[in-house]
Amino acid sequence: MNGKMGARPSIAVRLREFLATEAIGIEMVVDRSCGLNVVPCTDRRECDLNTLYPGGWITCETARAAARNLGISFSQMGKLLDHLNIKVRRCSLGCFQ
């Protein structure tokens, strides 16, 4: 495991299962003291290096930096973003495929 991601228990359980299924080396913890946290929201918000909002969006540059911080490949980050329904904007074509 390289990186850690924090979330509420209801989100963490499902994410932990997804990460294990996809063999993505991120440790899912049930707190929000990590460098990257998954936070539910009701509107489409911009994600940043500290927070992923399911249903939100993230710039390509920020997604690449988050992947590096977590120690995962861009492809794995793309799978995580897809799973969280986070759209990549201003993308450098093909980074997250």
**CA–CA distance, 53 with 93 (Å, rounded to integer):** 22
Q: Write down the pTM of the prediction.
A: 0.87
Of residues 10 and 20, the one with the higher pLDDT is: 20
For the residues 4-17, what does the mean pLDDT come to? Answer: 88
DSSP 40-79: --SS-PBP-SSEE-TT-EEEHHHHHHHHHHHT--HHHHHH
pLDDT digit string, tens, across residues 24-81: 988 888 876 677 889 888 889 999 999 999 999 999 999 999 999 999 999 999 999 9
Question: In one letter, which amino acid is 52?
Answer: L
- The band of 9, judged by pLDDT with boundaries at 50, 70 and 90, is confident
Spatial CA neighbour of 66 closest among 54, 79, 53, 51 = 51
